[in-house]
Amino acid sequence: MREIVFDTETTGLDPASGDRMVEIGCVELMNRVPTGQTFHAYFNPERDMPAGAEAVHGLSSAFLADKPLFRDTAQALLEFIADSPLVAHNAAFDFGFLNAELSLCEREAVCMSRMIDTVALARKRHPGAKLSLDALCSRYGVDRSHRVKHGALLDAELLAQVYVELTGGRQIGLELAAETSRTDMIAVVSRPRAQRTPRPARPHAASAEELSRHRAFLARMEAPLWSS
């Protein structure tokens, strides 16, 4: 099954009040395994960048000034996500901005039925625990040492590892170079056993000396049960 884990960075918290998406990062999973295929883009938001938002993701108005508008990249993004389920952390936020941008360029919204929210999954699995991406990375041993500021693609890559753990888990860092074929498995199972030289039988009967000591020991016992 193909799934897309994604994250966004924005100018603020509410697209209804004029905030815009400035970055999106997507990671492709196939049967819960990252394929290495990603989509990443920055966007010119056509507005200023508030200092509070810039402090979170480090994307300044000057950096974004020469980036494409969302409408210029929308088709490539839609082709990448196709009709796959979309996984995000606090997914309603990211879906809200994605659909707001699609609406501005008069494109159809992404159906909310495709949404998988890792916050909801984590709340169900770990009630009462911290649910931030940083907290979940710590819980599952996902290395986030290179995460200095928020970044859409980096956060999507971290979230992909967390999502795998939330939905069953696998060993962190375990990568299979290639799937073992059924023929190879049969060959391993049916490999002939190595021939071994049988050991000679070990003697188990008591020696004459051991029998003599045993009789002497019994003779010293007073009123044994077996003589009554």
User: What are the start-end ranges of the E strands in the chain?
Assistant: 2-10, 21-30, 33-42, 86-88, 115-117
Q: How far apart are CA 128 and CA 138, in angstroms?
A: 16
146 is catalytic: no
The one catalytic residue among 89, 150, 204, 214:
150
Extract the tokens encoding 110. Answer: 């992404």
CA atoms within 13 A on the CB side of 13: 2
Structure tokens at 218: 């019994």
Query: How far, in whole angstroms, is CA 215 from its chain's centroid?
Result: 72
Residues annotated as catalytic (active site), given as ranges:
150
